[in-house]
Structures are given as C-alpha cells and as structure tokens.
Structure 1
Amino acid sequence: MKKYLVNGWPVLLLLIFVASCGKEKSVEEDQGQYFLKCKIGGVDKTFNVNAAAAKSDLGGGITSYSVFGKAVADASNYESMGFTIQLSIPFNTGTYKETDPTTDYFLAGIYNPNTTEATKIFASGYDDTNPFQITFTEITATTLSGTFKGKLFINSTDPNSDSAIISNGQFKVKLQK
C-alpha cells in the first residue's frame, strides 16, 4: 500500500497542476468573452475583469439585475462601470430609460474613474436630454447582452457638477447564479 501512495503522488500533483491551469484559462476566456465596453467622454473603455451580472429577488414581486465590470485586475485600481435595473414587471428584451414615467422599473448607472471618494463617482441623474438607458438584446438563463448610453453626473449637490457622456456602450455578461 505504501508503494502505491509513493507512486501516486506524481500523478496527484500532475492532476492538481492540470486542474489549476484549466481554471486560469477559464478566467482568461471569461475576460475575453464577457465585457462592458463604451466611450466615456469620447475615450474607449473596456471593463472585462470580473464582468458579470447578478440577479436578486427583492421580494414583493421585484427582481433586480446588476451588471458590473472592472477595467483592470489590480485591487488598488477602482475603475469600474455598472448599472442596475429593478423591475416589478417581467424582464424582457427592449429599451429601459432612467426617465421612464412608469413605476414598472427603476434604472441607475454608475462609473467609478478610480477613486474612493464618493463625491467623485459618476451616477445617473435623470437628464431629460440624454438619459441613461439600456437596451437588452439578449436575456438567457446564463447571459445578458445589449447596449447602453447616456449622461452620468458627479455625485454632488452642485447643479453645475461635472458629467460624463457614455456612448457606444455594449455588454455581454455571464449571469451569476
């Protein structure tokens, strides 16, 4: 029996090595396959690190979907993009705007340009001329895809605060279970 254990170690180590390589490849594939991309103020941005979506049942017939991604894997860099939609109606493909007058859903977008100061993070602010909006083109049990655009504002009480124009946004994210 002892001889079997000694001879089994190299095989066991090889299996662990192969399994760990497979996980790294999977993460790299996810970064290429799942993403949020857009122009922010005319500058191309890609958020493909941990790009994903999460679904939550908030109770009372309300479901929330949050989509998010980081620009780089560096833990000290906070640059990220995300948006959330909370619905009291069935979730279907189509366009959802933050300025929709119904109470069927609530939509919010956020962009962190790499800061820990809340007053320097951009968020949707109900701009009538360029509202933040999302068009879901594909909704499956495993992925969400679509486009997004609109104007986000610095999180400030100043009515003349800075803003960021989000254009040419597109996303494909894995729906976490």
Structure 2
Amino acid sequence: MKKVLVNGWPALLLLFLVASCGKEISSEEDLGQYYLKCKIGNVDKTFNFFASADKEDLGGGASSYAIIGKAVADASNFESLAFSIQLSIPFTPGTYTVADPTTDYLMIGLYNPNTTDSEKIFVSQENESDPFQVTFTEITSTTISGTFKGKLFLNNSADPNATADSVVISNGQFKLKVQ
C-alpha cells in the first residue's frame, strides 16, 4: 500500500495542479462580462442562463451564427430569446435586418414567452415599419457583441403589420463568447 502511495504521488500532484489551474483560470475569467438583455414591451429582460453564440461553418464560404439565452435556469421554464443569421458573404460588423432584399444572408429572431405551443412563440417577419434587426459591433473568433431591436409576431399571425399579435423588442444588447 505504501509503495502505491509513494509511486502515485506524482499523479496526485499533477491532478491537484490541474484542478488548481482550472479554478484559477475560471476565477480570472469574469463570466459576468457576457450578457443577452433587452426590453420586451415595457419590461426589462435578461437571458443570461445558458447564453451562447454558436458558430457553424456551413461550407462553400457560408456560415451561421446562433445567439440564444434563457431567462431562468429552470428546465421547465422555456422563456428564451434567440436570433440566428446565415450568411453567404463574409461576416463583418454592421446592421443586418430580416427585411433585407438581398440573398446575401437570412436572419430570424425568436422570443418564447414560456410556452410549448409553437403558435404562441413570437418570430420575426418582414415588417417594413419595424423589422427585427441586429447591429453587430464586434465579431472575433472568441467574442461577438452588438445591439438588436424590432417587432416579433405570433408564429400563427397572418398579418405582418398586426399589433395585437406582436411584441416590440428595444434596447437589446449582447456580448457573448463564441463557441
């Protein structure tokens, strides 16, 4: 038994050092610096639980970025905000809107107010008066940030100019780690 402890101490030391380094790195990295927040109607909302910016190379020069966050950590609460952009052009800082007439990119915004009924989820449509738009101010290999705003409509809404079946998002801000 003593021989195992004597021969095993370098492995235990290495395990301790790795565990200590991991704690030190995580304490240096302030996770509070990442956020996804906005105002929906007149209510301030934050979506910092499981918040992420997922990047995917689609091949052929196309790429996709998905920004998503939940309002609470509770698995039975589905309140969340997400938007995604798929590009066939290089991704550069600037303003992108769901109403863009080109075929350079496709964008969608989504707000789930805590429902499992897909018809009660709010999604972007090509609304000319207040289209959902995102302004990307920083795009790096590790971080993405910017602002967003616009109107989202109930998934079953036939009228993209209806107000009763919509929510207005304003003061949207995000800074997330790219994964």
Give TM-score scaled by structure 1 length: 0.85
Runs (4 or more) in structure 1 with deviation over 4 Å come to 4-9
1:4 to partner: Cα distance:
5.5
CA contact 2:154–2:166 (8 Å) conserved in 1: yes
Which residues of 2 match residues 30-49 of structure 1 at below 5 A?
Answer: 30=31, 32-49=32-49
1:29 to partner: Cα distance:
4.0
1:175: which partner in 2?
178
2:167: which partner in 1?
164
Q: Does 1:22 align with 2:23?
A: yes
The separation in 2 between residues aligned to 1:114 and 1:22, in whole angstroms, is 34
The separation in 2 between residues aligned to 1:93 and 1:121, in whole angstroms, is 29
Q: How many residues align?
A: 171
Long gaps (5+) in structure 1 = none
1:154: which partner in 2?
154
1:167 to partner: Cα distance:
0.1
The separation in 1 between residues aligned to 2:170 and 2:120, in whole angstroms, is 20
% of aligned pairs identical? 61
CA contact 1:108–1:124 (8 Å) conserved in 2: yes
1:59 to partner: Cα distance:
2.8
1:153 to partner: Cα distance:
0.5
Q: 1:6 to 1:107 in 2, by over 3 A?
A: same
Which residues of 2 match residues 86-105 of structure 1 at below 5 A?
Answer: 86-105=86-105
104-113 vs 59-68, which moves further: 59-68
SS of the counterpart of 2:2?
helix
1:116: which partner in 2?
116
Long gaps (5+) in structure 2 = none
The separation in 1 between residues aligned to 2:108 and 2:74, in whole angstroms, is 26
The separation in 1 between residues aligned to 2:120 and 2:107, in whole angstroms, is 20
Q: How much is the aligned-residue C-alpha RMSD, in angstroms? A: 2.7
1:144: which partner in 2?
144
1:34 to partner: Cα distance:
1.5
2:129: which partner in 1?
129
1:157 to partner: Cα distance:
4.0
The separation in 2 between residues aligned to 1:66 and 1:85, in whole angstroms, is 7
The separation in 2 between residues aligned to 1:173 and 1:78, in whole angstroms, is 20
Residue identity matched to 2:102: T
The separation in 2 between residues aligned to 1:126 and 1:54, in whole angstroms, is 24
SS of the counterpart of 2:72?
coil
